[in-house]
């Protein structure tokens, strides 16, 4: 399987960017095991999933999936849907916040236009005493994202973002963002050797470095990983440095490592499950298949199994 891993990754990443396949997928419904990792096509389905996860002791973040937004009309529609999602979270009383991608909200159209859309979303969340996480995308959008975050942070304290450990700049970004709630990830985009580490061990080392740095600064830290060895290292570090469990959380994707999620909850840790939903499920699902070859067999099992993940 190792020899096939890179070609398979490239194949699924290629498929994820296909506009025609994405359009067709909206007609297919949640096929090929996608229903095990995507919480339905509408808010009502997503809230039902979140309620079920809450009952297991898990908290959540909802992400309305979107691909290929290149008009103001689409971006405004996506903005309104984010606000509608925050309304539904408040009305249902579930323990859940919101994750957003700013390219879905007009970042590639106009910085100022995207900022205004973000203001509407973050203000709505503030009214509900909720929190908005800005997802980090590729390196091209990194500084743009941090610039908009800085402006929003002048007005709001209920917004944070994501830092990717494979970028050389991650350590300095952590330094600059003391006191900001951050989700820390290894990083999933293919980036140039000029801006990002290429070797797994280098990424892992820097990931642990930025986690420790943010925790020691007293900042709230969301550690997004399925790597049980990394999780064990963080637990050990937190105990050794008397860092309270209330200062950090572990985050995992809906439908993955469910037994580990529940095990950590049993140990008194906060586990937040990233729950994607929406009609534009196709690109997200293809990227999950690209990440690990094991996910392909997971998807195939989904075709023949009705078993629930939780």
Active site residue 135: yes
Q: Which 8-state DSSP code applies to residue 63? A: E
Buried/exposed code over 142-176 (b: 16+ C-beta within 10 A; e: otherwise): bebbbebbeebbeebebbbbbbbbbbebbeebbee
Side-chain-facing half-sphere of 106: CA atoms under 13 Å:
21
| First and final C-alpha spacing in the chain | 29
Q: Which residues contact 77 (CB under 8 A, 6 or more apart)?
A: none
Catalytic-labelled residue, pool 63, 135, 173, 280 = 135
Among 105, 47, 48, residue whose Cα is nearest residue 72? 105
d(CA 209, CA 220): 15
Cα–Cα distance, 143 to 120 (Å, whole number) = 21
Name the active-site residue from 133, 183, 272, 288: 183
What distances in angstroms separate CA 8 from CA 2, 110, 224, 291, one per listed residue?
A: 10, 35, 24, 9
Question: What residue has token string 């399925």?
Answer: 226
Helix (H) or strand (E) holding 221: strand 221-224
183 is catalytic: yes
Distance CA 237, CA 68 (A): 41
Residues facing 31 on adjacent strands: none
CA of residue 143 relative to chain centroid, distance: 18
Q: Give the residue numbers annotated as catalytic, written as ranges.
A: 135, 183
């Amino acid at each position: 399987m190792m020899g096939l891993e890179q070609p398979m990754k490239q194949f699924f990443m290629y498929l994820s960017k296909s506009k025609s396949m994405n359009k067709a997928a909206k007609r297919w419904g949640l096929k090929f095991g996608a229903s095990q990792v995507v919480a339905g096509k509408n808010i009502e389905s997503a809230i039902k999933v979140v309620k079920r996860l809450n009952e297991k002791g898990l908290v959540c973040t909802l992400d309305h999936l979107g691909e290929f937004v290149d008009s103001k009309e689409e971006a405004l529609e996506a903005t309104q849907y984010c606000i509608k999602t925050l309304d539904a979270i408040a009305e249902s009383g579930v323990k859940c916040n919101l994750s957003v991608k700013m390219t879905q909200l007009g970042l590639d159209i106009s910085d100022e236009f995207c900022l205004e859309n973000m203001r509407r979303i973050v203000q709505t969340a503030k009214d509900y005493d909720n929190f908005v996480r800005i997802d980090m995308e590729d390196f091209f959008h990194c500084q743009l994202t941090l610039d908009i975050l800085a402006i929003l942070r002048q007005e709001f304290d209920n917004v944070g973002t994501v830092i990717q450990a494979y970028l050389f700049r991650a350590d300095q970004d952590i330094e600059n963002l003391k006191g900001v709630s951050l989700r820390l990830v290894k990083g999933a985009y293919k980036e140039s050797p000029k801006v990002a580490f290429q070797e797994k061990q280098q990424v892992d080392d820097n990931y642990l470095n930025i986690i420790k740095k943010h925790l020691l600064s007293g900042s709230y830290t969301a550690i997004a990983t399925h790597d049980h060895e990394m999780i064990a290292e963080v637990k050990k570090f937190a105990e050794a440095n008397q860092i309270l469990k209330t200062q950090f959380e572990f985050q995992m994707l809906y439908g993955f490592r469910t037994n580990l999620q529940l095990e950590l909850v049993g140990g008194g840790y906060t586990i937040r499950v990233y729950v994607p939903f929406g009609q534009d499920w196709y690109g997200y699902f293809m990227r999950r298949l690209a990440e690990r070859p094991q996910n392909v067999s997971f998807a195939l099992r989904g075709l023949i199994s009705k078993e629930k993940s939780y």
